[in-house]
């Protein structure tokens, strides 16, 4: 694409040393080879890309987009804009052929439930016969490619590149998790959303970044403010922020809830470890769902997915089929089964609200005791740590406090802050080594117990200091169960 064509997508842009040329790629990372490419200098949270424009030029960049004129060789075209973040989104959209306009694109945002809701909605769309792309916390599914996710919402270059892959593969629908960070950082500017889903909003998450709950809520509202009147907004009526968000969108609002009056309403009739039976009431009629997932919060996620599907014109039969065929999401109450006579579940719950939802649900459906293993991430909001300790003390019969991506903080300090909320209870142990903690918890389990390993879910790494090493709770749980089985065999032989 010609540089002049790209420049025209940037209102108010000025240029220096401009001469037209063919642009074959777009990049925001100066370290990447960018032959005949366009380098966009992003002023990030921790680093400013402008000083690296020289490196980008050396790596093949043919032109740069900046917020102020730089001292570069005279043959380097410079396009000067007010905000390079916005420019990156608009340029990516244009360069990849505006792919979101060729898809029915739905964005899902909220503190918790984004991932499960997006996978449930994808299952519904697939049941309706629509091959569907997915961008989210666990992985990106674009056409025939399955890519491990690095961020809940990737960069605008990656977003538009993968949306273009979906279009090229013949896909017509896409579901996308949209984080508050991505919205504030303008990664979704220019995307043509046909609808959006609001799951919930808690007041003790991401405050390390947003600083206040009001700022966090305003960030979520950006998705709904950008929706056109022809789109829909599926809003969880049970959340206290629902009314606030409804007032901030011109889209057609469809409310949903569990056991609450709403446009789409679910009523749970039975729930066990084996699954949940619930009735789903919609403007298109009522249907009964026999689902393999359990927990009120998962029924809320399913209702959110059903509401979005209705907004997309999907029929009630496909909604029922999709929810009943939904096989779960990696790292979301994922079952680890090695033939043991108790349950082991790996879940991503790493906030107070998410941990409370999971543990309260297990308390209701578990045949025997609830055992938990968890920690808190370092360099993140510290206010949730004692609250998570309080939740574990309330709901678990026994729990182990351990490490969880401690980053640059001391694991012992993080654990001490969690302990501050336990209220002096004595039914827990501290084991900073996460592998040993999982083995300790599994070793305590008796027939009928449920062991919850929380915090990391699908993640396949552990971050200590500035180093990331391979680590997977699911594999560690399997090895702990296998080791326990061998110990039982030895004991029987002896």
Q: What is the CATH number of domain 99-325?
A: 3.40.1190.10
pLDDT of the residue at 486: 67
The CATH code that applies to domain 334-493 is: 3.90.190.20
The CATH number of domain 3-90 is 3.40.1390.10: yes
Checking if the pLDDT of 493 tops 60, the result is no
Mean pLDDT for 141-155 is 91
The predicted model gives 380-389 an average pLDDT of 94
Which residues lie across from 104 on neighbouring strands? 173
pLDDT more than 70, % of the chain: 98
What residue segments make up the domains of the chain, in order of their start? 3-90, 99-325, 334-493
| pLDDT score recorded for residue 144 | 87
List, for residues 74-129, the tens digit of each pLDDT value: 999 999 999 999 999 999 999 999 999 999 999 999 999 999 999 999 999 999 99
Per-residue pLDDT band at 46 (split at 50, 70, 90): confident
- 284: burial class by Cβ within 10 Å (0-12, 13-18, 19+)? middle
Give CA–CA dist 371/449, Å, rounded: 7
Note the pLDDT of residue 90: 98
pLDDT for 369: 98
Q: What's the confidence (pLDDT) of residue 32? A: 85
Residue 494 has pLDDT above 60, yes or no: no
pLDDT digits (tens, 9 = 90+) for 53-66: 999 999 999 999 99
User: 151-161, pLDDT tens digit by residue?
Assistant: 889 999 999 99
Residue carrying the six token digits 């900046």: 66
What CA–CA distance (Å, rounded) separates 357 from 379? 24
């Amino acid at each position: 694409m010609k540089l002049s064509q790209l420049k025209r997508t940037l209102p108010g842009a000025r240029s220096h040393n401009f001469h037209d040329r063919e642009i074959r790629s777009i990049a925001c990372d100066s370290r990447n080879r960018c032959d005949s490419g366009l380098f966009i200098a992003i002023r990030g949270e921790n680093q400013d890309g402008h000083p690296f424009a020289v490196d980008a030029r050396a790596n093949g960049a043919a032109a740069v987009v900046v917020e102020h004129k730089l001292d570069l060789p005279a043959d380097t075209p410079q396009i000067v804009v007010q905000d390079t973040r916005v420019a990156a989104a608009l340029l990516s959209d244009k360069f990849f052929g505006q792919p979101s306009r060729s898809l029915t694109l739905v964005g899902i945002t909220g503190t918790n439930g984004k991932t499960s809701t997006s996978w449930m909605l994808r299952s519904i769309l697939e049941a309706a016969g629509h091959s569907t792309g997915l961008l989210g916390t666990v992985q990106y599914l674009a056409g025939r490619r399955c890519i491990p996710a690095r961020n809940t919402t990737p960069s605008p270059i990656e977003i538009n590149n993968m949306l273009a892959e979906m279009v090229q593969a013949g896909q017509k629908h896409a579901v996308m998790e949209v984080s508050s960070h991505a919205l504030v950082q303008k990664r979704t500017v220019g995307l043509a959303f046909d609808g959006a889903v609001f799951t919930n909003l808690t007041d003790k998450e991401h405050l390390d970044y947003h600083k206040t709950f009001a700022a966090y809520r305003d960030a979520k509202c950006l998705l709904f403010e950008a929706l056109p009147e022809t789109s829909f907004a599926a809003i969880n009526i049970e959340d206290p922020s629902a009314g606030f968000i409804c007032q901030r969108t011109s889209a057609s609002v469809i409310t949903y809830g569990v056991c609450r009056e709403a446009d789409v309403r679910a009523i749970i009739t039975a729930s066990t470890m084996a699954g949940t039976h619930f009735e789903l009431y919609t403007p298109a009629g009522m249907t009964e769902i026999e689902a393999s997932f359990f927990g009120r919060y998962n029924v809320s996620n399913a209702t959110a997915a059903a509401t979005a599907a209705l907004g997309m014109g999907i029929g009630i039969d496909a909604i029922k089929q999709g929810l009943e065929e939904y096989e779960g999401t990696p790292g979301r109450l994922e079952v680890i089964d090695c033939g043991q006579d108790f349950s082991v579940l790996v879940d991503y719950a790493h906030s107070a609200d998410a941990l409370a939802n999971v543990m309260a649900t297990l308390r209701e459906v578990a045949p025997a005791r609830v055992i938990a293993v968890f920690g808190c991430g370092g360099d993140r909001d510290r206010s949730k740590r004692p609250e998570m300790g309080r939740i574990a003390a309330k709901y678990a019969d026994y729990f182990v406090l351990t490490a969880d991506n401690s980053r640059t903080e001391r694991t012992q300090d993080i654990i001490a802050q969690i302990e501050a909320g336990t209220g002096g209870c004595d039914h827990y142990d501290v084991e900073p080594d996460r592998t040993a903690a999982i083995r300790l918890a599994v070793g305590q389990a008796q027939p009928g117990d449920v062991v919850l390993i929380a915090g990391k879910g699908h993640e396949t790494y552990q971050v200590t200091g500035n180093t990331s090493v391979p680590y997977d709770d699911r594999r560690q749980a399997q090895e702990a169960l296998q080791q326990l089985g061998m110990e039982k065999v030895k004991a029987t032989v002896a």
